[in-house]
Amino acid sequence: GPPYYNAVFNPIVAIMVVMMGIAPVIRWKKNKTGTFRKELGLVAVASIVFGIAFPFVYGGEFIGWVAIGMGLAFWLIVATLKNTKNTVTNGDGKIDLSRPNQSYWGMVVSHMGIAVGIIGVTMVSHYETQLDIRMDLGSKVELSGYEFVFDGMKDVHGPNFTAKQGQFRVFEDGKQITLLQPERRIYRVQTMGMTEAGIHSTITRDLFVALGDPLDNGAWAVRVYVKPFINLLWIAGALVAFGGFICMTDRRYRSKKTADDKQQAIDAQPVNV
């Protein structure tokens, strides 16, 4: 289960991310230990401080895995940006974005994607909240600073289903921010209930309301979620994929075959006797 995978994979990922920050500054057989201290020592210290401070500032308490996750993300972002600045700066101290090759920019984008993914996973894993509750008509529930008010159900007819659709107004700081309409659908072809969650999504969080089973006196079993920064996972995937695409389009990997290459390929084919 999750405890096993966290114990096995988290240390591996942590080591990998540390090396991703170091690898771009390595010069094979030329670097000395002092070079790393000069290039990345301050970044490492700042990452540790940021990682320790973040859970106190955001959640009001220290959580070890949050400190590690946010510290690693900070490390990878700042180390990558620092190396990028050094790479695009020429001998005169001027910025020249054409200096790095195309695959280098692909690496930068992918590294940023991985850092964004670490932030997303860390935030969702440790700050997601959920509540399973019975809600009667007009009842309300508060979760993570949001107030959900149940205004009842209405019948909905789709192209191949009928549904009971819940009406949930959501308030933040006393102001309504959205109306969620989760559904409990019955499809004609299978005559079994399916749940369609009501979702309100922003860059910083998603709100979910899902209907369970109907209860007595018009009440319903309801599950409410608040998932902070879950959309960063989609952004991270897009950045990593885009970085890979940039690397694939590097001209060095699309060199034309020469006549000698074609002749070698012909010579390598087996001859049937």
Give strand pairing partners of 171.
Answer: 147, 176
| pLDDT at position 34 | 65
Q: 54 near 66, Cβ under 8 Å?
A: yes
Contacts of 88 (CB under 8 A, 6+ apart): 95, 96, 97, 99, 100
Q: 260 near 267, Cβ under 8 Å?
A: no
Query: Which token pair is 207?
Result: 């709100």
Q: 58 near 119, Cβ under 8 Å?
A: no
| pLDDT at position 257 | 56
pLDDT digits (tens, 9 = 90+) for 131-165: 999 999 999 999 999 999 999 999 999 888 899 99
- CA atoms within 13 A of residue 38's CA, in its CB half-sphere: 8
| pLDDT at position 39 | 76
| pLDDT at position 95 | 84
* pLDDT string in tens for the chain (273-residue length): 677 777 788 889 999 999 999 888 776 556 666 667 777 889 999 999 999 999 999 999 999 999 999 999 999 999 999 999 988 888 777 888 888 888 999 999 999 999 999 999 999 999 999 999 999 999 999 999 999 999 999 999 988 889 999 999 999 999 999 999 999 998 887 777 789 999 999 999 999 999 999 999 889 999 999 999 999 999 999 999 999 999 888 777 665 555 555 555 555 555 444
| pLDDT at position 61 | 95
Phi and psi angles of residue 69, each rounded to the nearest 5 degrees, phi first: -60, -50
- CA atoms within 13 A of residue 228's CA, in its CB half-sphere: 15
